[in-house]
Structure 1
Amino acid sequence: MTRTEYPWLLPSSMADPELPGDRGGRARRTVRDWAVDLTAFLCAAGLGMAALSTIDADPTTDDVFVLVDSLVGAAACCALWVRRRWPVGLAVALTVLSLVEPVAAGAWLVSLFSVAVHRPFRPVALIGAAALVTVPVQPYLRPDPTTSFLASTVVGALLVLLVLSWGMVVRSRRQLVVTLRERAVRAETEAALRAEQAQRLAREAIAREMHDVLAHRLTLLSVHAGALEFRPDAPPAEVARAAGVIRDSAHEALQDLRQIIGVLRGPGDSDGGGDRPQPTLATLDALVAESRLAGMRVTLDNRIADPAAAPAAAGRTVYRIAQESLTNARKHAPGAEVTLTVDGGPGRGITVEIRNPAPVEPFERVPGSGQGLIGLTERATLAGGRLDHGPEPDGGFGVRAWLPWSP
């Protein structure tokens, strides 16, 4: 037999760690522990003194037996101070001692109560059965002249059942409190995780929105500022046009930035709630016109008869895909003609395809991180669609996406 096979033989702090009242012998007792232990000691001592007075009142009892009973009863009461560490061993020892020593009955009952509080049902049932078996032995060996054998046996059995039941009720209550506390801690932890996840998703949505909106404007600024830098001898009309585009793009970027910051300050969904107007499939023409004004060659083939009838979420996603693709084409293939094709309808979904050939002239490459295409893929997936992108056989680049359109 090993202690791992019978864990209820271990100290309380090792066998039943889920109950806060179980502490090892070296653990420091709290004020409540001292109060409970002192109360148990006094109750056991009171019952022992009552039994001792009954024995002393019997004229047939020798004084030597009274002295031995007093010493044994005092030792049994003092042994209760280790009941938290060794409840099972103490209960077994006092059960054997109570066979011949009625003065130890109080300490014995307290030890049974400790076992019921600090141990599960199986050891409690075994020790309780042994205690009930020994109840009639003590009045048979040392009968009380003032009480019948039957009355002593019945009272002893009732007391054993009472303290065991009381101890199991206390244990059940402690386990309930521990369970409720663990549930509360788990609920708080889950709530914190949900709040952290919601905050992370909100930050990702805002970052994606800022990238989609501002990258387009800032790329226009970069392209036209670079043109002014490398062509200082350009005609005044062309310089004025480029300066106007730079001014308008900077103004639009500031407006978009103010709108996004307004989402942070007020309530709204991840797509930018509130009063901020959202792009749709119907505003795709304005995006193409803006790109053409910036000097890009863009061919739009919109085969959808009524773009305004498209779902708002799908139309907004198509707009963002086209905006990011045009921005990338302007940065990585300046001067190349971009073809933008949109097709679809209810039940068929919306298909958008953006292609550009390889750049024909050397150019100063604008740095990019590739996060825009990753964001587009995430947008399409969240909208229930899919997006593919990659180089074309002719050296160009293509972006293809499909988004659902419910009939």
Structure 2
Amino acid sequence: MTRTDRQRWLLPSDLVEPGGSGAARPRRTVRDWIVDTLLFLLAALFGLLVADVSAQYNSEPVVLFDQLAGAAACCALWLRRRRPVGLAVALSLVNVIAPVAAGALLVGLFSVAVRRPFREVAWIGALAVVTSTVQVFVRPDPTTNTGLSIGIGFVLILLVTAWGMLVRARRQLVEALRERARRAEAEAELRAAQAQRLAREAIAREMHDVLAHRLTLLSVHAGALEFRPDAPPEQIARAAGVIRDSAHEALQDLREIIGVLRAPGENGDGGDRPQPTLATLDALIAESREAGAEVVLDTTVDEPAAVPAATGRTVYRIAQEGLTNARKHAPGTRVTVTLRGRPGEGLTVDIHNPAPDGPVPHVPGSGQGLIGLTERAALAGGRLEHGPAPGGGFSLHAWLPWPS
């Protein structure tokens, strides 16, 4: 049995919305048919008991009338889901002259209490009490005291009405909890989608920071080969080697980023490359120097491994972006990377390059790398500033927290 089938079996077709009028739904479920059949049988059994008592002291035409009225009242119960108020009013009036309809009247009152607000239930219940009291005088029972008959009728009506109102309150509570669960599920899906979007944005920034460095090396050395076709074979071989190594590293970095997007267990090798930290900054400087850049590293951080991994990775990306921009927009200039800081005071990174001499080959750029670095530094609790240096050239300054 599927979940939908279980819901159709367990849930009534006229489930009341919280605060609603409890209007009946057009189609009955299997559960509804079972409940309606049981209530019909209970009303018929109650009517047969009353008819048996009435036959002991009434004439045959009166007994026949009671039987026909009771049968019609029980059959009318199949309309209780669509016309609960009209049915209850009609049964209350019939009960005045036909006591065998009392069972059907109780079922009708129960239906009204389940499907209608308290105001309607109150006046219909009051009408039932009045008609049942009148019925004691119109069709008196010689075997029962008048006061006792009135009291029994009042108690039965009160119990049935209270039971129906309890069922209505329970249904409203169940529906409210179900609506709250649906809302919570929708909010959870929304939060998951938002988290996925933020993760994709972070991965996109990471991909830009990683690949821009490699692709810039490819662009610079490919441009050198293009503008200097008569270069010595040693320089051409060296540039070709840098291009090959940069392309290989770019592919490796791209595989690493794509690996992050894969679900757990999809990676074929079962291992990922280690993320860069401040301890790998020397390797980045060495790589830039091998590519022909003049880079000076001035640092007072004696133990790079002591810097938190997230902070060291941010410093690495800032230096990587600064060196990449220097190669793109100021090739041949000296780039100075200054690193200062200690625990409790924070970590300061300064990257400066002077203005280049002569014309610079145009290398396209969108500035998204610096924007991404600014956001990365802000997320780390720091700040980043960049722009033209006072003495010429370009400078990049960042401060990141370093807890003690």
TM-score bin (small chain) = 0.7 to 0.9
Are the equivalent residues in 2 in contact too, given 1:13–1:85 (CA < 8 A)? no
> Which range moved further: 119-128 or 228-237?
119-128
2:386 alignment partner, one of 360, 371, 389: 389
Residue 210 in structure 1 maps to residue 207 in structure 2: yes
The Cα of 1:78 is off from its aligned counterpart by 4.2
Assess, with a 3 A threshold, how the Cα gap between structure 1 residues 358 and 69 changes in structure 2: closer, same or farther: farther
**Secondary structure of 1:136 counterpart:** helix
Q: Which moved more, 1:193-202 or 1:291-300?
A: 193-202
Matches within 5 A, 1:4-403: 16-17=16-17, 24=24, 27-59=26-58, 61=59, 63=61, 65-66=62-63, 69-70=66-67, 72-132=69-129, 134-264=131-261, 276-392=273-389, 396-403=393-400
The question of whether the paired residues in 2 share the 8 Å contact of 1:13 and 1:22 is answered with: no
* Secondary structure of 2:289's aligned partner: helix
What is the CA distance between 1:203 and its match in structure 2?
3.4
Counterpart-to-counterpart distance in 2, 1:305 and 1:370: 33
Match of 1:4 in 2: none
* Shift in Å, 1:147: 1.9
Structure 1 unaligned regions, length at least 5:
1-11
Q: Structure 1 residue runs of 4+, over 6 Å off?
A: 12-15
Alignment gaps of 5+ in structure 2: 1-11
Tell me whether 319-328 or 246-255 shows the greater mean CA deviation: 246-255
Q: What one-letter code is carried by the residue in structure 2 that aligns with 1:316? A: R
Q: CA deviation at 1:152?
A: 1.8
Look up the equivalent residue of 2:84 and give its one-letter code.
Answer: P
TM-score (norm 1): 0.80
Give the length in aligned residue pairs.
389
Indicate the SS of the match to 1:36.
helix
> CA 1:72–1:372 in 2, change beyond 3 Å: closer, same or farther?
same
Q: Judging changes above 3 Å, is the alpha-carbon distance between structure 1 residues 143 and 317 closer, same or farther for their aligned structure 2 residues?
A: same
Deviations 1:56-111 (A, max 9, x none): 4324x583x55654555455434433322332343244334434442321221011
Q: Give how far 1:379 is off.
A: 1.7
Deviates more, 1:325-334 or 1:351-360: 351-360
> What percent identity do the matched residue pairs reach?
69
CA contact (8 A) 1:19 1:174 kept: no
Change (3 A) 1:395 1:62: farther
Query: 1:405: Cα distance to partner?
Result: 0.9
TM-score (norm 2): 0.81
Cα pair distance change 1:308/1:39, threshold 3 Å:
closer
**SS of equivalent residue, structure 1 residue 143:** coil
Q: Which residue of 2 aligns with 1:6?
A: none
